[in-house]
Amino acid sequence: MSILVGRETKLMVQGITGREGSFHALRCREYGANLVAGVTPGRGGQMFDGDVPVFNSVEQAVAETGADASLIFVPPPFAADAIVESADAGISVIACITEGIPVMDTVRVVRYLKGKATTLIGPNCPGVISPGESFKMGIMPGHIHLAGRMGVVSRSGTLTYEAVGQLTDLGIGQSTCVGIGGDPVNGSSFVDILRMFEDDPDTDGVVMIGEIGGSREQEAAEFIAQELTKPVAALIVGQSAPPGKRMGHAGAIITGSAGRASEKVKALDAAGVSIIPAPGEIGVTVQQMMSGR
């Protein structure tokens, strides 16, 4: 078991004929994901990797193949449209990898998704992987993962790989790893994903990786204190970043006191979270946290 996706998931890739889309569609397939369709407007009728049909629209792809998850590589100006097209066609899980989508586009998309049965992960994220299900929809290197019972949720890409690498090195496997994205507004928040891990019988604990900017880590702290029964270890990066400067991620900028790393650590600490003291200590902190139980 895992959250969001699994062995039964039928994966579709929007932007499958592009350079990144085709490269990663193949990697996902190699990892074991059931890739049933691709979508690129104007390329309908082609085949991808021999036997994966490409469609002009998500609607057609869903009707013909029963696709229920979509991985999006569409360029920024067209990405919002691609997300809404998928949601409109009834796709249940969307992971949008695209970086650089105008924030107001994401704001409108997230508003559109309210009350719909579609979960959006991202944008500007590495995607979702469930090693025990041999399923990945994302750009993370599959081989560093290990099947197991820790959930991972993060705003970052390569830092998530760093965390996973440290866990795997210590023999600590992962149930599902979710990158929620580095933009100021995301389809899914820490709280959304933590709730899913709480409800997942095959997840025993969670590693949460936050960073400077916004106050979504504080919301997570409140949720953890009030509702989460599983142990959480958290790392907040950007302790050494000055205010007012954007650290790569559009969302990683300290604009108010809540955005500071120290405020986030304080809130999580007060919620009983195991604070990971340094980026090199992710694995050992989780090991200690889980061995004490």
Partner 1 sequence: MKIHEYQAKGVFAKYGISVPRGRAAKTPDDAARIADELGGRAVVKAQVHAGGRGKAGGVRVVESAAEAAEAAEALIGSTLVTFQTGPEGVPIGSVLVEEVVDVETEMYVGMAIDGSAEGVVAIASAAGGMEIEQVAEQTPEKIISVAVDPVLGLQPFQGRKLAYGLGVADSLNRPVAALMSALYRLFEENDCSLVEINPLGVTADGRVLAMDAKIDMDDDAMFRHRDIAGMRDVSQEDALEVEASEFDINYVKLDGDVGCIVNGAGLAMATMDVTHAAGASPANFLDIGGGADEEKVAKALEIVLKDANVRRVLVNIFGGILRCDVAARGLVMASERMRGKMRPMVARMLGTNAEEGRETLANSGLDVVLVDDLNQAADAIRKAR
Smallest gap from residue 216 Cβ to partner 1 (A): 6
Task: Using the minimum distance from each CB to partner 1, give the nearer residue, 41 or 141.
Answer: 141
How far apart are the C-alpha atoms of 265 and 221, rounded to whole Å? 9
Task: Using the minimum distance from each CB to partner 1, give the nearer residue, 10 or 24.
Answer: 24
Smallest gap from residue 252 Cβ to partner 1 (A): 6
Smallest gap from residue 177 Cβ to partner 1 (A): 13
- Residue 123: cis peptide before it, omega within 30 degrees of 0: yes
Task: Using the minimum distance from each CB to partner 1, give the nearer residue, 257 or 288.
Answer: 257
In the chain, the amino acid numbered 203 is: T
Q: Is-contact 79 98, C-beta < 8 A?
A: yes
Our answer to whether residue 249 is catalytic in this structure is: yes
Which of 24, 143, 145, 249 is the catalytic position?
Answer: 249
Which residues would be at the binding site for partner 1 (CB under 8 A)?
20, 23, 76-77, 99-105, 107-108, 110-111, 139-141, 144, 154-162, 165-166, 182, 184-186, 209, 211-216, 219, 235, 237-242, 244-252, 255-257, 278-281
Task: Using the minimum distance from each CB to partner 1, give the nearer residue, 156 or 274.
Answer: 156
How far apart are the C-alpha atoms of 98 and 245, rounded to whole Å? 22
Instruction: Give one DSSP letter per residue of 136-199, joined into a string.
Output: EEESS-GGG--EEEEEEEES-SHHHHHHHHHHHHTT--EEEEEE--SSSS-SS-HHHHHHHHHH
Please give the positions annotated as active site.
Answer: 249
